[in-house]
Amino acid sequence: MRVTSRSIVIALPLAWMAGVVYFYPLQLQYDAPDQAMARLERLARASVAPAAPQENLITSQYNRAIFRETGNGDVEIDARTTDKLDVVLRALPPDYRDDELSRVEQAVQTGLSAHAADRAGQLLRTYLAYRDTEAALLAERRGEDVIDAADMFRRISSVRREFFGRDADALFGAKEAEARASIEIARIAADTGLGKKEQAQRIAAVQAALPRTSTPGSGYYEDVMQTAQAAAGELRKSFADRAPAQSW
């Protein structure tokens, strides 16, 4: 992240983009926090057949699973997990039905053992309900200054840990580090008591403290994102001729 002391105009947008705001497709609908929690409870109660190794629902061009299974039979969770979930969730119609959500769930379970498939399905449903809550919180935003940004960041960080518990750090830790840095840079750039040289030095120190992350290349991550996109395409085709669902 390359930001200078002249970047106050973009520092706050960077904070939202890095750790708080995600650009969801317009067709997704979001609920208030209480409705989102009700949805989570409803999803938890939904009958899901005992997970078994899933038949590949994806085109033969991409035959890897969307999620990688760990040595102990769990699902690998990291900073890119939400990217995969966002891709497949874009396939859902705005008024999706339970059976359509179940088909998206099957897509993320492809190629996994029973335990890992269960875990992937739970993660998908929890993430869907979390996104509704996050969007409702962001709708309450009243200001654009550093204080407002920091307050919203704290609130959403707390919500993430309510939904995901110990997995929140793995899912959002890297984005949150960038968000904290962006907010701090905005504070420094807005501090009229600092000279330009001191501002530049402090900003450089904030940037230097950020953990280095690898750029997605031609390996596993790129391959699995292509797999997720292929799955989303297949799901969209399967939803194309559906009748409108009743609201719930």
Among 7-11, 110-114, 152-156, 213-217, where is mean pLDDT lowest?
Answer: 7-11
| Rounded CA separation 246/80 (Å) | 34
Residue ranges of domains in the chain: 8-238
| pLDDT surpasses 80 at 4 | no
Q: What angle do CA 221, 225, 230 make, to 5 degrees?
A: 150
Confidence of residue 41 (pLDDT cuts 50, 70, 90): low
Percent of the chain at pLDDT > 70 equals: 67
| Rounded CA separation 63/192 (Å) | 56
Average pLDDT, whole number, for the chain? Answer: 76
List CB contacts of 148: < 8 A, sequence separation 6 or more. 141, 142
**Which H helix or E strand runs over 172?**
helix 168-190
| Rounded CA separation 105/227 (Å) | 14
| Rounded CA separation 129/135 (Å) | 10
| pLDDT surpasses 70 at 223 | yes
Confidence of residue 232 (pLDDT cuts 50, 70, 90): confident
Confirm if 203 and 185 have CB atoms less than 8 A apart: yes
Task: For residue 27, give the amino acid letter.
Answer: Q
